[in-house]
Amino acid sequence: MKRKTRGEVFFIAFSTVSMILFAIITLLPFMNVIAKSVSSEGAVLTGQVNFWPVGFQLGTFRYVLDTVEFTNGLKVSVIVTIVGTIGAMFLTTTVAYPLSKPTMVGRKFFLLMFVFVMLFSGGMVPNYMLYRSLGLTNTILALIFPGMCSVFNILLVKTFYEDLPESVEESSRIDGASNFRTLISVVIPMSMPVIATVGLFYAVGYWNSYFAGVLYITRPALKPLQQYLYELVQASQVSPDANTITTDMTQYMNTSPESVRAATIFLATAPILAVYPFLQRYFVKGINIGSVKG
């Protein structure tokens, strides 16, 4: 085994310490949010809470989960994320596949159009006028359509398809499979790293999107969770609504507006954090797409 030089040992130690420090710095704001969400009202209002709870209580989470606006926003965001991600992945994979074939008629023209659209857009006002003319405002489709097609993700999947061995697809066609059958049965199973990576990009984008709701949604029942969270954070104070509380009022007496905001932020972030570990092994492979050419 080759002995590491002093410079290599120093570099590894420096990199390790730097990554640990970076991880700690990244976690500190999240730890502060969690601590405030489970701390007592007095401790939060007097600024005693930093990274560890003071006066532990769970009434804040009960209040947030009993709030109609939060539960409605959660349902809307779940529907939008699931339906939008599935639709976006279908469009991305089916569009990227023909673009990855040099023999496609008009390939250069379509690639030029996609790149042009990626660099230039119609703007916010024309988009709003288009959605209003189509009758999509105040509908859940207005939250799904804006993020359904990402040119960057299409080009990412296209690059991955181009690196797949052509012999496998040729074998499938010899067996009588159509292009669509080859894509579904051969290409996509071989492309799980990029599929999982791009799917995670779409899911996080849909889950964190609030601006589409601000533009196109005015009905409270259709507001996504992130729009509700945005309005909650921007509000100067949070007052419990009697219509949203279904249990004894005394359990909410030890909560503060700031702890309510912190609990809402944590609950809005938790679903994506729960999904990420299942996709991590694919994500690590997917981020290396294009870095090594065969």
CA quadruple 159, 164, 166, 169: dihedral positive or negative?
A: negative
Class of domain 70-218: mainly alpha
Q: Identify the residue whose tokens are 């080009």.
A: 155
Q: For the beta carbon of residue 175, count every other beta carbon within 10 angstroms.
A: 10
CA quadruple 144, 150, 158, 78: dihedral positive or negative?
A: negative
Domain boundaries, the chain: 70-218
| Predicted TM-score of the model (pTM) | 0.76
**12 φ/ψ angles, rounded to the nearest 5 degrees:** -65, -45
Give the whole-angstrom CA distance, residue 68 versus residue 284: 38
More confident residue, 150 or 239: 150
pLDDT above 80 for 266: yes
Write out pLDDT tens, residues 78-127: 999 999 999 999 999 988 888 888 888 888 898 888 888 888 877 788 88
